[in-house]
Structure 1
Amino acid sequence: MDAGAAATFEKLFGHPARVVARAPGRVNLIGEHTDYNGGFVLPMAIPQYTQVELRPRGDRTVRAFSTNVGEQAGVQEFVLGQETPGRGWLDYVQGVTLVLRREGFTFEGFDVRITSQVPVGSGLSSSAALDVCLLRGLREAFSLPLEDVRLAVLGQKVENDFVGAPVGVMDPMACHLADGGAALFLDTRSLSYERVPLPAGVEPVVINSGVAHNHAAGDYRTRRAECERAAELLGVPQLRDLTEADLPRLNALPDPLGRRARHVLTEDARVLATVEALRTGDLAALGPLMYASHASQRDDYQVSVPEIDMLVELALNEKDVLGARLTGGGFGGSIVALARTGTGASVAQRIAQAYSKRSGRTATVLVP
């Protein structure tokens, strides 16, 4: 922890922090809306991270401060065992303590200061980064016997059970276990994972559209319910259980359930094909897979927006971009692209500038 952060913590709470923990945001290369359907995903970490500084208090009170909501919000408090939803960003802190206690972990109150570089509503898992880094900090501060996969699963429970966002397990798994040099190939049913390095010839590009989304809002929840209903009508536990032979059956489903199921079935296949292309260095295969993924999200899953489509179209016009797609839950957020190594920064700046001229919005280049 740098001297400035240490001084700020002490000024806020009257004593120095004892533990510092970080967790990165994540970008999903491919495999969107497959995680809550038991399927495959391929995220990787981004340089932007969330950090918590904390100190045990010795009582039952939690005092929390977030630099991202402004000084006027001040220090917020709650008592362990009296967590109450509806308090905005504090719900993530309350959700972590509630879930840990329900899982049988014992710990005291604490003071915590939160800072984050991961833009909220960008499709880059700002909330999962907060859940994970707070869980990491509490694990260290109170010596909690919490192994890595379980920590990530508890991060998902925070969002599902307390915040009210029906997200899958990919985000906390990626924020906890992924890194920036390799993609995390994750089977969200078994929670088995493998780090798959990117070939030397490509580098990731991430551009935030400036259109924010909210996973706790209705559209994301509706998509999940549609998938569950489609699986029920098809007689399978989850859409993950479909195979290519089932594609004709999807046409018999009422609209839009058939299109939702088709996206999940074909997206799972695209993840597996992308992993194989990364392993073999088949760069030519990556672009068509990414663009097909975006088209499926736009047309079958209907989670894209005009601004995101514009960014993908601009990326398509760049000769050094292999492929691009919407990343994250949709309804705004960011795109991810794969560019030829050494071209990412210049390509991203051209796309962002052209986007701003055409849309009137400001795009932010997050990677590189």
Structure 2
Amino acid sequence: MSTVEHRAAALKALIASEHRRVTSYDVATLAGVSQSAVSRCFKPGASVSKTTYELVMKVAALLDYIPNAAARSLITRRSNMVALIITNQANLYYPELLAEVSQQINARGKRVLLFTLQRESQVDHVLADVWQYQVDGVIAAAQLSPVHIAEFERRGMPLVLFNRTMRDQIVNTVTCDHLEAGRLLASRLAAAGHRQFGIIGGGRDSSVATERQRGACERLAELGLPPPVVVPGQYDYRSGAAGLKAVIAQLGTVPDAVICGSDVMAIGCLDCARHELGLDVPGQLSVAGFDAVEPSNWASYNLTTLRQPVPRMAAAAADLLCERIDSHDPGTEKRVFSVEFIDGATARLTPAGATPPRVATGLPRPVAIM
């Protein structure tokens, strides 16, 4: 046993007899370095020599030292925690979205504290908890009001809206162009000869659903097509099936195409059309969704949908928030991403009677999350 190991064993015995935890001071004393050097060794990206780092890590292992995050936050006045506010309406894509954002934040030396909402309109109930935890910043995948934004500004709390926008507020934002996404989907379907549309919207308190619906309706009006029949949905499987029945009831016939506010609703609509109503999809009815969630790629669905670049969006959100935290920069920035059209098997995308283009098969389709 080396001299350092002998001294470490004696120090551990002394600490145990005093019924206390090992501190950075103990590590520094045994390693013969300063406490600040020990702190730098446990801070990602901090400047420290290889020799000092290896010595401190060896002594820390011998003493079973674990850095005290709470004590460090008192010194640095930072918790190194970032709050993520997200709604449970994210459904099937919720775990993937959470994993992407968490991975990006963790890579920047911080940790994610999760706050979930049943509905976006319930954000008031979690903000009080967010303030109590004194996080360094917030990524909100939920709609905030101007009053909420003003409170973030008053507290000097960095904020990034994820996949949400505010027209009349200056706020850091990372999002897809949902208005243009709705227009894109309507354009592709109309170009294939669809004339009568139904739209199954998302939750009424979802800005994403509202923008997608508005984009589709605006584009159909520009093309001189009949106004679509719009029925409400809740981003879930059941409202997809119920929405299709409601559209048919209002029209008195089966529409040419139904645009659903999410893939989960599109799958519910698709199953209802095929198995309950006996419709040929896409022969009699085209069905399209949004988000390219994992089940939309399954062979039994192969859904026509739009994909968002969620990994790139998560990285942009983490970068933007950490820049604001580290630089204390009150400036704002909006980063907007485009969607990718996924040509599935549930929508007719060529005019009736036309020969469809050859499409490569056997290739994996990309998967995305809202």
TM-score (norm: length of structure 2)? 0.24
- Which structure has the highest strand share of the two? 1
Indicate the structure whose relative CO is greater, using CA pairs within 8 Å and at least 6 residues apart.
1
TM-score (norm: length of structure 1)? 0.24
